[in-house]
Amino acid sequence: MERNFSIKIADLKINLNDIFSDKLRRWYCFFLSRSHFPEISLNLDYIPAKRNLPLRVKKKEGQVFQIERSDFFAEIDFASFQGELKVAKNIYSFDSFLRILYSLYLLYNDGFLLHSAGIKKDGKVYLFSGSSLSGKTTVIRHLGPTLTNENAILSDEIIAIRKEKHNGGNYFFFAYPTPFWGEFKSSENINNQRAKIDRIFFLGNRNFAKLSFNEAVERLLENTIFFSRDPSSVAKLFNLGIEFLQQIPSYQLKATEGVQSYLNFPK
Amino acid sequence: MKNNIEHNRIFKNEKIASRIIERQAFIVTPLDSTLHLLNEVGTRIWQLIEEKKNIEKIIEHICAEYDMDRLTIERDVREFIQILEKKGIVEIKKSA
CATH number at residue A142: 3.90.228.20
The reply to whether A140 and A245 lie within a common domain is yes
A218 touching B (Cβ < 8 Å): yes
Contact indicator for A236, A163 with CB cutoff of 8 Å: no
The reply to whether A48 and A177 lie within a common domain is no
* Among B17, B24, B31, beta carbon nearest to A214: B24
Contact indicator for B37, B24 with CB cutoff of 8 Å: yes
Q: What percent of chain A has pLDDT over 90?
A: 61
Residue A1 binned pLDDT confidence (cut-offs 50, 70, 90): very low
- Reported pTM: 0.88
Q: Looking at the domain assignment, is residue A179 inside a domain?
A: yes
Q: Is the dihedral of CA A26, A28, A33, A37 positive or negative?
A: negative
pLDDT, position A125 = 95
The DSSP line for A7-52 is EEETTEEEEEE-SSHHHHHHHTGGGEE--S--SEEEEEEE-PPPSS
**Domain that residue A216 falls in:** 111-262
pLDDT, position B1 = 39
Chain A residues inside the 8 Å CB shell of B14: 231
CA distance A81 to A99: 17
Q: Tell if the CB–CB gap between B26 and A217 is shorter than 8 Å.
A: yes
Q: Tell if the CB–CB gap between A239 and B24 is shorter than 8 Å.
A: no
What's the first-to-final CA gap in chain A, in angstroms?
Answer: 56
**Domain that residue B56 falls in:** 5-13+41-91
Bigger pLDDT: A8 vs A23: A8
The reply to whether A53 and A120 lie within a common domain is no
Residue A16 binned pLDDT confidence (cut-offs 50, 70, 90): confident
The reply to whether A86 and A138 lie within a common domain is no
The reply to whether A89 and A141 lie within a common domain is no
The reply to whether A123 and A227 lie within a common domain is yes
Contact indicator for A178, A186 with CB cutoff of 8 Å: no
A91: amino acid identity, one letter: I
Provide the number of structural domains found in chain B: 1
A242 touching B (Cβ < 8 Å): yes
User: Tens of pLDDT along A47-86?
Assistant: 888 888 899 999 999 999 999 999 999 999 999 999 999 9
pLDDT, position B8 = 80
Provide the number of structural domains found in chain A: 2
Nearest chain B residue to A225 by CA: give it. Answer: B33
pLDDT, position A151 = 67
Bigger pLDDT: A115 vs A39: A115
User: Tens of pLDDT along A162-183?
Assistant: 999 888 789 999 999 999 988 7
Q: Looking at the domain assignment, is residue A267 inside a domain?
A: no
pLDDT, position B2 = 44
Q: Is the pLDDT of residue A26 over 70?
A: yes
HSE at residue A108, side-chain half, CA atoms within 13 A, is 19
Q: What's the mean pLDDT in A227-234?
A: 92
The reply to whether A67 and A130 lie within a common domain is no
The reply to whether A71 and A129 lie within a common domain is no
The reply to whether A85 and A153 lie within a common domain is no
Which ipTM did the prediction report?
0.77
Per residue of chain B (96 residues), give pLDDT as tens.
345 566 788 999 999 999 999 889 999 998 888 899 999 999 999 999 999 999 999 999 999 999 999 999 999 999 999 999 999 999 998 765
The reply to whether A95 and A136 lie within a common domain is no
DSSP E strands, chain A: 4-9, 12-17, 32-33, 40-46, 56-59, 64-69, 72-77, 82-87, 111-121, 124-129, 153-155, 158-165, 171-176, 195-204, 209-210, 224-225, 250-254
Kindly report the average pLDDT of chain A as a whole number: 89
The reply to whether A185 and A245 lie within a common domain is yes
